[in-house]
Structure 1
């Protein structure tokens, strides 16, 4: 039973790390899109 608990904790840590990476990637992509939008002249307002 102890092994299962440890394994579950490891899986939780992995999932948490993946979520952190995903969040960081999302924010980076958002920043890139914002920069691209600012560098382009607004087409139609």
Structure 2
């Protein structure tokens, strides 16, 4: 695992720990999607 992959995986883990409630649910999904897409781009390059 590269350093970038490790950082993104930790960020995703931190995001999942936060409570998903109220208005923040869409922000959480948005940020999570961006992190996952970034990881996919790093994997394919």
TM-score under structure 2 normalisation?
Answer: 0.50
Q: Which runs of 5+ in 1 are unaligned?
A: 29-45
Q: Which has the larger radius of gyration?
A: 1
Instruction: Give aligned pairs, total.
Output: 25
Q: After the TM superposition, which segments of 4 or more aligned residues of structure 1 sit over 3 Å from their partners? A: none
Q: More relative contact order in 1 or in 2 (CA 8 Å, sep 6+)?
A: 2
RMSD (Å), alpha carbons: 1.0
Higher normalized helix content (fraction of residues): 1
TM-score under structure 1 normalisation?
Answer: 0.50
Q: Which runs of 5+ in 2 are unaligned?
A: 1-20
